[in-house]
Structure 1
């Protein structure tokens, strides 16, 4: 047998175990290796093609991630062993000198090519495990097999935190409650203005301290909803027995639960500047802009109208700029951006930029969602993606943020959620801004973006 033929059979054995063994007459060993290889490949392909939701639920579980890492390493090691053994079976016995070294080098290179993708897959699994462990905490109580049983809706508070060098603490300038139907995935986003005043506080120390609604620390702060988080962090007596870093989320969730009538069980907070890094890691986000948007602290940039892909910095200002607009138009853009990111963060995009996304997410996101609930949330998110996402904003003229009618807010929430859900697929279903819509019915947000 020639050197070329031997190397060709060795290469063939890397892509189909047992090929070289069959060639030299070792039929039992060759058939066994080939059967094992076909079974592994068939099972893997079947899982990726037919079990996507189940697979996604597994990759957020640390134990399974470690198992996948070990499996990738063992598969690579087994393939290398098969390649080396196959080469020894089919190499010409008369090889000597340069030909022997060159063929050995070729086999070594082939082994490296086999190891590289498996090593990369193992690294991705390790990074996934690190992100899950750093962002999500373990649950203090057991999670039921079906956590949605007897639970019609899941309400999660989505917070955009705007911290700055010239400001002490965190200001929650973007607050949205995502109310998800656990059966269909149909979702309503309730947008809460940052400048709601006299917010009624939950029973206990907060209401005792602020019997007529949240007042902040006059004359230093105006006493608006976006101050509740930081106030709780700075005043441990507001949420007794709760450690630093958890008081703010807990009081904000309870406060919003009370005046909306929603049982807000969890929160996800994204640092605004960290959000820009997440967008960059995705390769940008595509939105349709209806009117020019000025961005930058010195108004040094302009995002022109049209459908375009925004960088992280542009997306950040798209969601926070108020030049020539106001808080309520900005809220509409934030909902548009949230929807665009949700729709465009597909598996291919995530895989292509996984390392950057993992690093940005670990530094930008905080939450109290327990990691044990992640598999169920992954399955629910698949339903959300195939359903309409609607939005309702509590903005003027429906709600006067300086003197809000909190009973009206609670009534509106109940009325919207009592309507039959429309679960047909759609790219968006956002409510309009204050200038175009009073908030009585969810409608397409044509005034701000597409």
Structure 2
């Protein structure tokens, strides 16, 4: 090929250009520019090898980079740079091998073909850059920057990380926000062993944390009688309405702060962070992944005016149906609804597989920004991603503080704290399906009581 002029017919030149789009430098070698061709091939193969190695061997590490704004910008800029180089290689390759003489029509068709080829090559890169940009927007919109430095090892000296998970219902016919679903996820930072502590929305006489809240309600939260009954799910909005309850906190921060402190006192756990999902946004999230499949034991009344039923059986629910499945109390009660909500969240987490997330990424990102609020600092996300990998490989236990263990009208808060201590001290559930875990009443030997602790996977099937 040393003496090859490289000038070929229109069809051959387009074929060589297409080959150079797949393997950079092919046209250069064809015309005798071996060093340049070998260099371009080496660059492309190095990039492809590095990308394949990263995808196959560095899964969690890649995920941790994907939640860091600086690295997301690097991803976006790298994708655009590679796209620009690929276009330059294609155009230069065609210029090297195009025919010296060709009719005008062939020139126009060749130019159009090269334009289409460039568009096909850069489209994935442009899309990757767009995904990185959208991810950057989600991370920076949902997660605030920490005002204090995050240690290199944030779990050092911390046996368990406790995060308050809240489902909020800000319905159009309701003033303010009601936190109708409240669960504390307690995660062992070494093993990923996770226990979910579920608190019913209708707990009464809730002890308030020291400070202005306890000064106002020394005998437990009473709400605003006679307008409200004084339940746990009112604490969030009460703090928002009465700034003096949480001094030196801004609007939309007062509610989460007081709710965290209150539930921390109930459970006897330190709760540094919360994450709240608005139920209307939850509808968009479910629709974005194409619905969610659940097993329905009994028919669920659908709609405010009893428009219909979600029939029993294995069903694929739309976002609106999933919302009603999780919130309906017709012919049931708060405790049954709590169980359905846990099953629903578990089903969404399991069925949101990588392909479904990828296909609906933009919709999910938009829904997440609108639906999720949290005080988890942005800088902690990489460590949380690594911890989540441990959680994924562990069994999740759930302890619901509902009858007969706890009666919401007259809660035994001392017993709640004892049950939390006992549950956390128990060994993690073995990796097999179990219908329920029964625990003894530790106060009296031989006397046993159901603790409502279940393996979450088994409770929903």
> Do the two structures share a fold, i.e. TM-score over 0.5?
yes
| Counterpart position of 1:56 | 63
Q: TM-score, normalised by structure 1?
A: 0.96
| Counterpart position of 2:460 | 449
In the alignment, is residue 416 of structure 1 matched against residue 423 of structure 2? Answer: yes
Measure, in 2, the Cα distance between the counterparts of 1:381 and 1:99: 57
Pairing of 1:131-210 with structure 2 (within 5 A): 131-210=138-217
In the alignment, is residue 388 of structure 1 matched against residue 399 of structure 2? Answer: no
Deviation at 1:145, TM superposition (A): 1.3
Is there any run of 5+ residues in structure 1 with no aligned partner, and where?
none
In the alignment, is residue 97 of structure 1 matched against residue 108 of structure 2? Answer: no
Contact 1:157 1:178 in 2 (8 A): yes
Query: RMSD value over aligned CA atoms?
Result: 1.8
SS across alignment from 1:443 = strand
Is there any run of 5+ residues in structure 2 with no aligned partner, and where?
1-7, 439-447
Counterparts in 2 of 1:430 and 1:149: CA distance versus 1, 3 Å: farther
Pairing of 1:91-130 with structure 2 (within 5 A): 91-130=98-137
2:16 counterpart (6, 9, 19): 9
In the alignment, is residue 80 of structure 1 matched against residue 124 of structure 2? Answer: no
Contact 1:155 1:177 in 2 (8 A): yes
Segment drifting more, 94-103 vs 189-198: 94-103
| Counterpart position of 1:440 | 451
| Counterpart position of 1:374 | 381
Measure, in 2, the Cα distance between the counterparts of 1:425 and 1:385: 14
1:406 counterpart (409, 413, 427): 413
Contact 1:386 1:425 in 2 (8 A): no
Equivalenced residues, count: 445
| Counterpart position of 1:287 | 294
2:404 counterpart (383, 393, 397): 397
| Counterpart position of 1:236 | 243
Measure, in 2, the Cα distance between the counterparts of 1:431 and 1:31: 64
SS across alignment from 2:453 = coil
| Alpha-carbon displacement from aligned partner over 1:245-264 (angstroms, at most 9, x marks no partner) | 10100000001001101111
Q: TM-score, normalised by structure 2?
A: 0.93
Measure, in 1, the Cα distance between the counterparts of 2:455 and 2:103: 75
Deviation at 1:156, TM superposition (A): 0.6
Deviation at 1:324, TM superposition (A): 1.0
Contact 2:401 2:452 in 1 (8 A): no
Contact 1:159 1:172 in 2 (8 A): yes
Counterparts in 2 of 1:244 and 1:448: CA distance versus 1, 3 Å: same
Counterparts in 2 of 1:112 and 1:430: CA distance versus 1, 3 Å: farther
1:305 counterpart (302, 312, 333): 312
Measure, in 1, the Cα distance between the counterparts of 2:233 and 2:175: 13
Segment drifting more, 302-311 vs 259-268: 302-311
